[in-house]
């Protein structure tokens, strides 16, 4: 979007159009002058302008999840960022003196029209103020008239009335400068009468309408189109009623036909749809959350399945966040260049662990290694795997030492298995334990986990209803088959060795499965 902004700006300048203005520096004085004495006009030439500016605003719903009204946080964020972008002074003056642009009549290209009424009022007040001051000075200074108290009273009254009008206007601007739109809305939401306050929504709407009018004014002033792009994230971490509140805010407060707002709603529909269906906003839509989303979202964009290159880039980005490992690589290289043995404080076991961790990461990042095929599409899951592998390998070395039977690649594959298919892996391990193999005693024959899963998969199918939420955590079942039966055929003895160092598998899942199996056998 930024590239498009630059390209359109350059194209407009090549066509010979006037250079855009900015409300900063000397442009601020020009903007204040136009705000006070001129009315903007939307001409045909303005509508034909192709250059535009995007104002990016990020709203993380998680930051406002504790508020009584999450949508109020959305509106305050919008007001605050627009005020921050253009400056407090132009917006404060617009509150008092500004006016919404009107459309030109015919093909007139005149973009600014003098506010005749405002100018006459101002000159009238100044004239009356001058007359009042003159009368007062005459009454105070001219000999022979000093004794006329009535003249002093008239002069004082005229000067006070005209001067007070000017002072009130200046105070209104100062009030809007000090008390921002964000503070006004926060004050309303903090009111004890908030729950039943009549006209609350209309006051919020008025603040938003002022912002819309101000943006329309700035479009004409800056000689380009303005679009406020609001990215809404972390909505799937909030309570259902909060989610519905944000959708209501988008629908009722910010969906004016002339509002220059673009919302980028970054959500997981599998989480958002049940939230919407649990609230009262679904009445009349047959309790169908997907239908509600289809009506609220005007341009759907479902992110396609991540390709192999994108997954490897996610792994690389996640590995770069491991500052502890990167520091040790740099420290080791510095020690080698100076001819000094690598930092003597390091323990030998720790150096071995670092070597294992780098070997595991190399396998993850190697596109030719079959392990990279099983990396999840979700970046958060990739970071979980990258963060878990070092812990798993350190624990494995601590328990078994350098003579561990499993390689770093196998340990990394086990971490991926536990992250991608926690339900199926937990079921297999529970079956091992119940048969007296897993935790109680390793299988001496080296029976594969896949064969154990196949033997008990029918019982797992019968428990689909009580284990529905847990089963939904698993990835593609066909990939699970390929992973465990072909590419990484872990045995029961491998599971026995790895289970004690597995930190990314929720053991409560296996406990629940054990209780269900026990009840089924009663």
pLDDT at 507 over 80: yes
Q: Give the CA angle between residues 288, 293, 298 to the nearest 5°.
A: 145
Closest to 48 measured CA to CA, from 126, 111, 118 = 111
Which tens digit of pLDDT belongs to each residue from 214-242?
998 898 888 888 999 989 888 888 877 77
Highest average pLDDT, of 133-137, 199-203, 320-324, 482-486, comes from 482-486
Q: How many residues are there in the chain?
A: 522
Helix axes 26-37, 116-141, angle to 10 degrees: 90
Token couple for 503? 């930190």
Distance CA 480, CA 458 (A): 16
- Between 58-62, 214-218, 415-419, 445-449, the lowest mean confidence (pLDDT) is in 445-449
Which tens digit of pLDDT belongs to each residue from 73-99?
788 888 889 988 998 888 888 888 878
pTM (predicted TM-score): 0.64
Query: Where residue 508 falls among pLDDT bands split at 50, 70, 90?
Result: confident
What does the DSSP 8-state code read for residue 507?
A: H
* Beta carbons of 356 and 393 less than 8 angstroms apart: yes
Classify residue 436 as exposed, middle or buried by CB count within 10 Å of its CB (0-12, 13-18, 19+): exposed
Which tens digit of pLDDT belongs to each residue from 104-129?
777 777 888 888 777 777 777 777 76
**Which residues, other chains included, contact 333 with Cβ-Cβ below 8 Å and sequence gap of 6+?**
none
Unique residue bearing structure tokens 């020690």: 335
pLDDT at 437 over 60: no
Unique residue bearing structure tokens 């508020």: 67
Q: What's the pLDDT score for residue 442?
A: 46
Query: Where residue 347 falls among pLDDT bands split at 50, 70, 90?
Result: very low
Distance of alpha carbon 407 from the chain centroid: 40
Q: What's the pLDDT score for residue 346?
A: 39
CA separation, residue 466 to residues 360, 432, 469, 520 (Å):
36, 21, 8, 12
Average pLDDT value over all residues in the chain: 78
Which tens digit of pLDDT belongs to each residue from 168-205?
777 777 777 777 767 777 676 666 555 454 456 677 77
| DSSP per position, 109-129 | ---EEE-HHHHHHHHHHHHHH
Unique residue bearing structure tokens 């599998």: 270
Q: What's the pLDDT score for residue 154?
A: 63
Q: What's the pLDDT score for residue 73?
A: 78
Distance CA 395, CA 389 (A): 10
């Amino acid at each position: 979007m930024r590239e498009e902004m630059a390209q359109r700006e350059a194209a407009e300048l090549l066509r010979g159009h006037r250079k855009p203005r900015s409300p900063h520096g000397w442009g601020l004085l020009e903007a204040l002058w136009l705000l006070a004495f001129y009315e903007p006009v939307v001409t045909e030439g303005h509508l034909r302008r192709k250059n535009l500016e995007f104002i990016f605003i990020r709203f993380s719903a998680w930051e406002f999840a504790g508020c009584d009204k999450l949508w109020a946080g959305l509106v305050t964020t919008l007001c605050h960022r627009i005020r921050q972008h253009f400056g407090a002074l132009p917006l404060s003056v617009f509150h008092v003196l500004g006016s919404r642009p009107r459309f030109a009549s015919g093909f007139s290209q005149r973009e600014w029209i003098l506010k005749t009424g405002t100018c006459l009022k101002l000159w009238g007040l100044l004239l009356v103020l001058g007359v009042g001051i003159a009368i007062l000075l005459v009454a105070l200074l001219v000999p022979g008239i000093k004794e006329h108290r009535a003249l002093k009273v008239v002069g004082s009254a005229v000067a006070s009335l005209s001067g007070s009008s000017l002072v009130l206007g200046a105070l209104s601007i100062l009030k809007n400068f000090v008390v921002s739109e964000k503070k006004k809305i926060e004050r309303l939401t903090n009111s004890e009468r908030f729950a039943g306050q009549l006209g609350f929504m209309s006051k919020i709407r008025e603040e938003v309408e002022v912002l819309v009018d101000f943006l329309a004014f700035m479009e004409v002033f800056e000689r380009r189109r303005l679009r406020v792009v609001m990215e809404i994230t972390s909505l799937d971490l909030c309570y259902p009623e909060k989610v519905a509140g944000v959708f209501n805010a988008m629908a009722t407060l910010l969906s004016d036909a002339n509002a220059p707002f673009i919302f980028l709603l970054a959500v997981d529909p599998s989480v958002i749809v049940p939230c919407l269906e649990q609230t009262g906003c679904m009445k009349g839509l047959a309790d169908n959350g997907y239908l509600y989303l289809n009506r609220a979202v005007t341009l759907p964009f479902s992110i396609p399945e991540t390709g192999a290159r994108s997954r490897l880039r996610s792994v690389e980005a996640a590995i770069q966040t491991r500052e502890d490992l990167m520091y040790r690589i740099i420290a080791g290289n510095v020690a080698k260049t100076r001819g000094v043995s690598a930092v003597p404080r390091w323990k030998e076991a720790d150096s071995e662990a670092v070597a294992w961790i780098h070997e595991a990461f190399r396998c993850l990042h190697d596109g030719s290694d079959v392990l990279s095929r099983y990396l999840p599409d979700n970046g958060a899951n990739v970071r979980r795997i990258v963060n878990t592998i070092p812990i798993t390998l350190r624990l494995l070395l601590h328990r078994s030492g350098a003579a561990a039977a499993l390689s770093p690649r196998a340990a990394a594959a086990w971490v991926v298995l536990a992250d991608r298919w926690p339900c199926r892996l937990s079921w297999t391990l529970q079956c091992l334990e119940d048969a007296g193999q897993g935790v109680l005693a390793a299988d001496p024959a080296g029976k594969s986990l896949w064969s154990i899963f196949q033997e008990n998969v029918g019982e797992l199918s019968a428990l689909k209803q009580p284990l529905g939420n847990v089963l939904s955590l698993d990835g593609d079942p066909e990939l699970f088959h390929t992973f465990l039966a072909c590419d990484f055929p872990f045995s029961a003895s491998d599971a026995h060795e790895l289970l004690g160092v597995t930190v990314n598998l929720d053991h409560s899942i296996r406990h629940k499965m054990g209780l269900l199996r026990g009840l089924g056998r009663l």
